[in-house]
Structure 1
Amino acid sequence: MHPRRSAQEVLLCDLCETVPLQSHCELCNINLCVNCAVKHLSDSSKRHNVVPFLHRKSTPDYHICPDHAHKHCEIYCEKCDIPVCLTCVTSGKHKGHEISDVLEKLSAKTESLQKDLEELETRIYPRYEGMASDVQTEKAELERKYGKLTTDADQQGEILHREITAIVNQRKSAIAEMKTKHLDALNKNTDEITQKITELKQIMSDLKSILKSNDVSLTSTYKSRNSQFRTLPPKVRVTVPSLSPQKINKDQLNEMFGSLSPLSINTEHGDTMKSAEAVSSPPVKPLLDEPRVTATIDIGYTPYSVSCLSEDQVWTHGENETMKLLNLQSKLLTSIQTKSGNRPHDIAVTRDGDLVYTDYKDRTVNLIKNKQIQTVITLQGWRPVNVCCTAGNGLLVTMDSDDWKQSKVVRYSGSTEKQSIQFDDQGRPLYSSGGFYNYKYISENKNLDICVADNDYSAVVVVNQSGKLRFRYTGHPSNTNQSFYPRGITTDSQSHILTADSDNDRIHILDQDGQFLRYIHCDLDTPLGLCVDIRDNLFVAELFTAKVKKIQYL
């Protein structure tokens, strides 16, 4: 702050700097005392406009002309795009150039500056902050993802170790069995030879006794048995088996273990945001001619809803009170039961990665954070049906009245109701009346439209952020098999609206204005719940196959 402008001191004249000010020259933008004001007005070279200080206007700070001392630049040369003084114009330097009043130019420039500031504050800077936040989120996920890779490698190693150990034990068992048979054969051969030796010893003893006795009778009756023993007993020859180890082929072993995809670090060109005057839109991702299934998750029960936690993890729920988090390999990661024991009517994942579920019977909407369940909304006279999370981290909830005669959409910020959407401009209901099996799946589009798949109305009902009806989509004329009863609904980065046509086993893709674009088939079987991850991969819960399919369609 200027030392002479302190609130603790009297404001002084800018010229003499000793006497309190009383006047202000709007041309020169200086404050004057009475005496200095008289002297100031005596300068006839300028058209000074001295007014009481309290009546001064907000005057632009004209800068002094660099070519003509003490002259203010009150004119703007459009050709040279600079402020100039009157002498500059009359001296010929800017002769023939288009000129304008500097105040008018200042006003236009000020408006442009204001627009630039507004765009920087509301659109550009938040995108940079968002990008920084995304990088921090990715860094926070780094340990978990690489830890999972290491765990997967350890598990694969354990599997191979178990297989090798099983093979080794099998070989050792076979070796032990062969050894036993070998020993049995040798023992049998030994017994035969031992028996012959015993007989030979007896014969030799008998012959010695006869020879000593000189008994004619024994000698005359002796019969030789040597011929029986001249042929030796058969000798058992057993060849010890050998192990013929194969040379380890490291390539095959690596292939058996499984490959690790290379680390890919690409620096993408930054998105160029359109100016504030242009319509803001994300990078265009064209629709694929042939959408394809990239993964199938076997969840083991009939799924009614699916909501993405990440590109490879989804929450689902079925007929009971349990909600399950599974990965693309169908591995159960987490399961959580509802607080009441009732089955959830619908689920959604917040921007912070927490799970939200509606309890129709209990009239509550609940938030699950760190596996702790917190009831955030409790209704009176109404029951929550379906739910989605908004770009502003709030909730949109479809609900039925207790008598099932009314339905509406309510916007919440935390536990606070912010908006209720029920009727069109003519006072007619926007949505069909309620019922326990009357699902009204809901999604907020990127343009902040609110999209509801109302199967009893056989329509997708879309209202804008203010709740004003934009359009109803009642199916494509090519619907010839069954009527159009939309179920699950979701939206993507291109503001496409995707809705599940369960009876016709396909997904309808619409643009943000309700124009039909194309179908997704992919051998779907009664698609019901839908969600899209941050990379616009579509997850589809099939009612009767107990599967969730991941589909690339952009």
Structure 2
Amino acid sequence: MLHLRRSAQDVLLCDLCENVPLQSHCELCHINLCKACVGDHLSDSSKRHKVVPYKHRKSTPNYPKCPDHAEKHCELFCEKCDIPVCSTCVLNKHRGHNLCDILKKLSSKTQSLRKDLKELETRIFPRYKEMGSDIQTEKTELETNYGKLTTAADQQGEIWHREISAIVNQRKSDIAEMKNKHIAALDKNRDEITLRITELRQMIQDLRKILDTNDVSLTSTYKSRNAEFRRLPPKTQVTLPSFSPRKINTEQLNEMFGSRSSLSINIEHGETMKSPEAVSSPVKPLLDEPRLTATINTGYNRLRSVSCLSDEEVWTRGYHELMKLFNPQGKLLTSIQTESGNRPVDIAVTRDRDLVYTDDYNKTVNLVKNKQIQTIITLQGWTPLYVCSTISGHLLITMYSDDGKQAKVVRYSGSTETQTIQFDYQGRPLYSSYGTKYISENMNLDICVADRSARAVVVVNQSGQRRFRYTGHPSSTKQSFNPVGITTDSQGQILTADCYNHRIHILDQDGQFLRYIQNCGLHRPWDLCVDIRDNLFVAERDTAKVKKIQYL
């Protein structure tokens, strides 16, 4: 309620003339009037004023005080200036502006606040908590992973120590052997000289005896051997071995010890969460009975993939090197042959409406732009399988190792690998090591993989942390859950083809089963895609037909 101007005698005065005691109150404009001013106030026919005796006015809430007029309260809201105003403000600088009741504005603002609060509590705050939890999980994994690196360095060090010890021991053994040979050579030389010394002593003794006896017979038979002994015995010359240690080249040692990749810390720009209106509006409920609206005969022997170019064009691929583009009327619009002549494993349409296909024979991912094919990714040690294009324009590719023991999902920005998703926070594989693994990204940036060998749909969040694992609805089936193709729609729902049960499972974005699509004459549904209008295209493997189904 407007603050009531009081005279010195505490008389309530009119808000317009501010001179005469008030008698009435306009409940539309929240202004107090004297008898004379009522007529002037009602002369404004642009509004449906409601003037009542002041004592019959409705009780008023606690209005904010006017910052410019201390004795007034703000009962109106200026739409032009976007601020609360009092009656004096209205008559002065806000004259002629669009005004509304501040309570109506308060109600509108309150609704907006409630929506903001709901979004903060149910979507934004949980996402931040999830991101914080992911970081804590990464920190936990960090200890394990860095521990593995340290262990690997220790193991390499032990190997080096063993090798160095073996080399040192071999060198010492070689030195000992050379020493023994040297000593043996000297001993042999010494023995030869010792023998000669013995002979010389005997000769000296014999010569003295001859001279002492002066025996003519001995003297006449004496033959000199001095010439023989003048030729001294050979002296063993041995060159001592030496050890020339090489200068240690630290860089070479580091290279020989083993290489490690450098630590790369990239701060990516945070994804902007869609507003609740963008996420859930317009809400499209599921039809009680999905409707078949078109059938396309592709002409393949078997059909394996379908990918929407628009709501009027779909790319297909089968057990053939040709990839074909059809409209819903079944008309072949164009076809592209793989560059290698091999059949593609999977196809996808990029954000720029280009075609991407994977080739498992030469381990490449290829982009078709203006009918020109270029190889954008070539793998070593891994084979690319199934591919999808993300909201941000990245490629997500499922692949398995050449030894068939590992499988993973890799994100590429152009030709650059930016993320690998392979293990959960406990280091356990997220995916089975072989088999079909179609992939799709949800609107909340979750990564959804239909792991056929594991008979499960595995969903991780944007950072690669597992969210949930769906293994089928516990209703009776002829055969167990057999997920193949997978796609998502504008409602965040996940659709996966259950091939041998001839139906499609629809899940919400948290993995809760919603319903089946199992009519429309489906037979061996293999792959799925959804266009921008949420029309579902189903590739039937054995009939090689694409069926367009309305389910929302």
Name the TM-score, length of structure 1 as normaliser: 0.51
**What amino acid is aligned across from residue 415 of structure 1 in structure 2?**
S
Contact 1:282–1:493 under 8 Å retained in 2: no
Counterpart of 1:293 in structure 2 is 292
Counterpart of 1:544 in structure 2 is 542
Counterpart of 2:463 in structure 1 is 466
1:282–1:414 distance in 2 versus 1, CA, 3 Å? farther
Report the Cα offset of residue 336 of structure 1: 0.7
Segment of structure 1 superposing worse, 535-544 or 329-338 = 329-338
Contact 2:525–2:538 under 8 Å retained in 1: yes
Counterpart of 2:429 in structure 1 is 429
Report the Cα offset of residue 80 of structure 1: 3.2
**What amino acid is aligned across from residue 291 of structure 2 in structure 1?**
R
Report the Cα offset of residue 353 of structure 1: 1.2
Equivalences, count: 296
Contact 2:65–2:72 under 8 Å retained in 1: no
1:484 to 451, 457, 481: 481
1:441–1:276 distance in 2 versus 1, CA, 3 Å? closer
* In structure 2, distance between residues paired with 1:322 and 1:418: 31
Contact 1:345–1:358 under 8 Å retained in 2: yes
Counterpart of 1:523 in structure 2 is 521
Q: Any idea what SS the aligned residue of 2:280 has?
A: coil
Counterpart of 1:391 in structure 2 is 391
Counterpart of 2:495 in structure 1 is 498
- Structure 1 runs (4+) greater than 3 angstroms displaced: 78-84, 92-95, 274-280
**What amino acid is aligned across from residue 413 of structure 2 in structure 1?**
S
Q: Aligned pair 1:281/2:283, yes or no?
A: no
Q: Aligned pair 1:452/2:449, yes or no?
A: yes
1:276–1:312 distance in 2 versus 1, CA, 3 Å? closer
Contact 2:483–2:499 under 8 Å retained in 1: yes
Stretches of structure 1 that go unaligned for 5 or more consecutive residues are 1-77, 96-111, 120-273
Contact 1:539–1:550 under 8 Å retained in 2: yes
Q: Any idea what SS the aligned residue of 2:543 has?
A: coil
Q: Any idea what SS the aligned residue of 1:304 has?
A: strand
Counterpart of 1:535 in structure 2 is 533
* In structure 2, distance between residues paired with 1:492 and 1:276: 17
* In structure 1, distance between residues paired with 2:66 and 2:452: 64
Q: Any idea what SS the aligned residue of 2:323 has?
A: strand
Q: Aligned pair 1:360/2:344, yes or no?
A: no
Counterpart of 2:313 in structure 1 is 313
* In structure 1, distance between residues paired with 2:276 and 2:336: 48
Percent of aligned pairs with the same amino acid: 70
Report the Cα offset of residue 94 of structure 1: 6.7
Report the Cα offset of residue 276 of structure 1: 6.1
**What amino acid is aligned across from residue 323 of structure 1 in structure 2?**
M
Report the Cα offset of residue 479 of structure 1: 3.9
* In structure 2, distance between residues paired with 1:292 and 1:94: 61
2:440 to 434, 443, 446: 443
Q: Aligned pair 1:80/2:64, yes or no?
A: yes
**What amino acid is aligned across from residue 469 of structure 2 in structure 1?**
R
Segment of structure 1 superposing worse, 453-462 or 275-284 = 275-284
Report the Cα offset of residue 282 of structure 1: 3.0
**What amino acid is aligned across from residue 64 of structure 2 in structure 1?**
C
Counterpart of 1:379 in structure 2 is 379
Report the Cα offset of residue 501 of structure 1: 0.2
Contact 2:482–2:499 under 8 Å retained in 1: yes
* In structure 2, distance between residues paired with 1:277 and 1:387: 29
1:93–1:508 distance in 2 versus 1, CA, 3 Å? closer
Q: Any idea what SS the aligned residue of 1:503 has?
A: helix
Q: Any idea what SS the aligned residue of 2:286 has?
A: coil
* 1:401-421 C-alpha deviation (Å, 9 max, x unpaired): 111111111111111111111
* In structure 2, distance between residues paired with 1:374 and 1:475: 39
* In structure 1, distance between residues paired with 2:537 and 2:502: 14
**What amino acid is aligned across from residue 544 of structure 1 in structure 2?**
D
Counterpart of 1:418 in structure 2 is 418
Stretches of structure 2 that go unaligned for 5 or more consecutive residues are 1-61, 75-108, 117-272
1:279–1:534 distance in 2 versus 1, CA, 3 Å? closer
Contact 1:297–1:548 under 8 Å retained in 2: yes
1:337–1:425 distance in 2 versus 1, CA, 3 Å? same
**What amino acid is aligned across from residue 485 of structure 1 in structure 2?**
N
